[in-house]
Amino acid sequence: MEKQFCAAILKNDKAALKIILDKKFDTIDIKDNQMENFESIKNWLEEFNCVSSVEIVPGMIRTKPPIKVFDVYVKSPDDVIKVVQIKLQVLPDKLSYNPK
């Protein structure tokens, strides 16, 4: 999964990211503590070699459903760092990647 995730995030391949991220999000119990869930996602993202760090953006975007944003600092093969936002829809029964 390492190669697929890093290739998808570096190419901004939202369709591939959706498959990878939603597979991970399906393993998270939405009924657990929300902040713990967000920390778990942050820690999981930071395990990828292409990710130098992740910041959980405070608050949520007030939409229906609400959206939580993660700023992911990604290292390209030539060590250039770029910020990619991962937006997570917080649905009543699950979490889902929002490619918009």
The SS3 assignment for 83 reads strand
Q: Exposed (0-12), middle (13-18) or buried (19+): which is 57, by Cβ within 10 Å?
A: middle
pLDDT value at 32 more than 80: no
pTM value is 0.91
Q: How far is the CA of 52 from the CAs of 42, 79, 83, 90, in angstroms?
A: 11, 10, 10, 25
pLDDT per residue over 36-88, tens digit each?
Answer: 999 999 999 999 999 999 999 999 999 999 999 999 999 988 888 999 999 99
Residue 34's pLDDT is what?
86
- Please calculate the CA angle 88-92-96 and round it to the nearest 5 degrees: 25
The sign one gets for the Cα dihedral 23, 19, 17, 62 is negative
Task: Check if the beta carbon of residue 78 is closer than 8 Å to that of residue 69.
Answer: no
pLDDT per residue over 86-100, tens digit each?
Answer: 999 998 889 999 998
How far is it, in rounded angstroms, from Cα 13 to Cα 35? 27
